[in-house]
Chains A and B, each alone.
Chain A
Amino acid sequence: GAVVSQHPSRVICKSGTSVKIECRSLDFQATTMFWYRQFPKKSLMLMATSNEGSKATYEQGVEKDKFLINHASLTLSTLTVTSAHPEDSSFYICSAMLGRTPNFGAGTRLSVL
């Protein structure tokens, strides 16, 4: 079964609103989680590394004020897309390490109208 739970699976919002996506590790603790973005027919692009109890590490070109990451517990990381615009529409995926193996959530399809 799934070891990483991501919620919601799909969200539609109006331009200017903020959207929060949750990523939970099931039955294991994850001090580090990862957030990816995927454009249609493209590979996954790492956005940021979420660290429990400390600030997230963002990849070059990713706006930290736009994509707020909070990793408040060992089983939960959240990604908030602030003041969403249509260009933020994308597929967002999280992952967490279980032992040596990265496990991915099912993804969140964000559509900004």
Chain B
Amino acid sequence: DAKTTQPPSMDCAEGRAANLPCNHSTISGNEYVYWYRQIHSQGPQYIIHGLKNNETNEMASLIITEDRKSSTLILPHATLRDTAVYYCIVRKSNFGNEKLTFGTGTRLTIIP
């Protein structure tokens, strides 16, 4: 299973773009990259996912490098409510056996 590594913590000023990196150097060709965030004592909330193309939705943008060994989640205008632990997940799908491998997570703190 692909492993992911993330910095343990990051700070970002309110209103600025938050860029959260994730390394998944052993990812295989059919594995997707998903990002979730978790606010204290709640279940993870889906943010965005991608395979090899960059993706954007109302919450964030996902930039995946051409070799797919790393990705960056971008929150374009961070607010205090974006303070959470962000998880980068590689999703393996093998004949219906969906297995999720969680990264270590980055604790993002938005500073007023």
Chain A residues in contact with chain B, CB under 8 A? 4, 6, 32, 34, 43-46, 49, 91, 93, 95, 97, 100-107, 109
Q: How large is the interface on B (under 10, 10 to 19, 20 to 34, 35 or more residues)?
A: 20 to 34
| A-B contacts besides A4-B43, A93-B44, A102-B89, 6 pairs, CB < 8 Å | A43-B105, A46-B102, A49-B97, A104-B36, A104-B43, A104-B45
Instruction: Name the one of A46, A91, A106, A107 contacting B100, with C-beta atoms under 8 angstroms.
Output: A46
Instruction: Name the one of B36, B41, B105 contacting A91, with C-beta atoms under 8 angstroms.
Output: B41
Chain A residues touching B, majority SS: strand
Q: Digit string of B33-53 for contact with A (CB within 8 Å is 1, else 0)?
A: 010100001111110010000
Measured CA separation A109–B41 after assembly (Å): 8
Residue of B nearest to A105 (CB): B43
Task: Flag if B102 contacts A44 (CB, 8 Å).
Answer: yes
Measured CA separation A103–B106 after assembly (Å): 20
Contacts of B103 in A (CB 8 A): 43
Instruction: Name the one of A43, A101, A103 contacting B49, with C-beta atoms under 8 angstroms.
Output: A101
CB distance from A29 to the nearest CB of B (A): 14
Within 13-27 of B, Cβ neighbours of A (below 8 Å) are at none
